[in-house]
């Protein structure tokens, strides 16, 4: 195992430990850093559960899990000597992330690539005050990162193409499907699409047309299901660009265009009803329900991804 096959992941929460799975299952060594020992302990338990799922789905022996876990190191302290590929996954707070990047830059080799898993913050803004912004970029994984293949690779204003190319190569090595976005834009690509739909979903529920449960049911059993096979542009071609044009001419004036979050969101935030992590959001949750839902989600998604790979529906 060479130094180039090691990754440092900073932050052991949902995304951090999930990204670690991608690397250790692909044969890389991963150093997972988090200041909270309890978070690291939970991360190792979660990683083990995911690897167990992999073994169960592909009917492989437990050696796959055990060998992957042998490649994982966890620590509450930033190492003095860092690998030359680094991914940050700390909470979405601009000042916190900048502080982490300054610390990394003071320790990392001059040719190390430094990535942020931010889902929305400007890469160029995050790179402000770095001495070497040319080797800094975004790698936006999707949750759960150990199953969903896409990673948006997003350059800042000063990112070198060589850093983008190297990152894309690494991600291919660990079984991801990276897409190199041509320039930095708020929310990148996937989250802009996701939140455009989310805004419309909130407006429809606020209008009283359907409940949250019914809206989710419509998405899961219609275009959401089809989207695993055909994206918006292929769907337009298959359905007819003239048809899409006529629908948009009629429908677009009726769509939500608010510049502020829906009251369905802000009212719940003010009440402290933040979703699964507080036990209540749009639905009620307890620990068993969350665990069962995540396990079911992961198994279904993994089977879908494996089916798509086998069928080679991706161009």
pLDDT digits (tens, 9 = 90+) for 260-311: 999 999 999 999 999 999 999 999 999 999 999 999 999 999 999 989 888 8
pLDDT digits (tens, 9 = 90+) for 87-141: 999 999 999 999 999 999 999 998 999 999 999 899 999 999 899 999 999 999 9
**Which domains does the chain possess?**
3-180 (3.40.50.720), 190-257 (1.10.1040.10)
- pTM here is 0.93
The DSSP letter of residue 77 is S
pLDDT of residue 60: 80
The phi and psi torsions of 18 (rounded to 5 degrees) equal: -65, -40
CA end-to-end span of the chain: 33
Nearest to 233 by CA among 248, 222, 249, 244: 244
Nearest 5°: CA angle at 90, between 85 and 95? 105
Q: Which CB contacts under 8 angstroms, 24+ apart, belong to 183-187?
A: 183/155, 184/122, 184/123, 184/124, 184/138, 184/154, 184/155, 184/156, 184/157, 186/120, 186/122, 187/119, 187/120
């Amino acid at each position: 195992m060479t130094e180039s096959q090691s990754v440092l992941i900073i932050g052991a929460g949902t995304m951090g430990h999930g990204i670690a799975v991608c690397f250790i299952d692909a044969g890389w060594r991963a150093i997972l850093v988090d200041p909270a020992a309890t978070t690291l302990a939970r991360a190792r338990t979660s990683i083990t559960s995911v690897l167990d799922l992999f073994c169960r789905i592909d009917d492989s022996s437990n050696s796959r899990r055990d060998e992957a876990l042998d490649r994982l190191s966890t620590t509450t302290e930033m190492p003095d000597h860092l690998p030359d590929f680094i991914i940050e996954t700390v909470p979405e707070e601009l000042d916190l992330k900048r502080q982490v990047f300054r610390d990394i830059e003071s320790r990392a080799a001059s040719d190390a690539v430094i990535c942020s898993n931010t889902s929305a913050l400007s890469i160029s803004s995050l790179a402000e005050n770095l001495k070497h912004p040319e080797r800094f970029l975004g790698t936006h994984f999707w949750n759960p990162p150990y199953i969903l293949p896409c990673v948006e690779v997003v350059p800042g204003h000063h990112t070198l193409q060589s850093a983008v190319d190297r990152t894309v190569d690494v991600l291919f090595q660990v079984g991801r499907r990276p897409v190199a976005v041509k320039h930095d834009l708020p929310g990148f690509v996937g989250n802009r699409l996701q939140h455009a739909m989310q805004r419309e979903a909130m407006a429809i529920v606020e209008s009283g047309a359907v409940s949250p449960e019914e809206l989710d049911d419509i998405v899961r059993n219609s275009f959401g299901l089809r989207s695993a096979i055909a994206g918006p542009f292929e769907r337009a071609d298959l359905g007819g660009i003239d048809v899409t044009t006529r629908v948009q001419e009629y429908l677009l004036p009726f769509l939500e265009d608010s510049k502020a979050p829906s009251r369905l969101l802000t009212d719940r935030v003010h009440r402290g009803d933040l979703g699964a992590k507080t036990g209540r959001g749009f639905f009620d949750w307890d620990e068993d329900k969350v665990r069962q839902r995540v396990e079911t989600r992961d198994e279904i998604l993994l089977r879908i991804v494996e089916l798509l790979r086998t069928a080679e529906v991706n161009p």
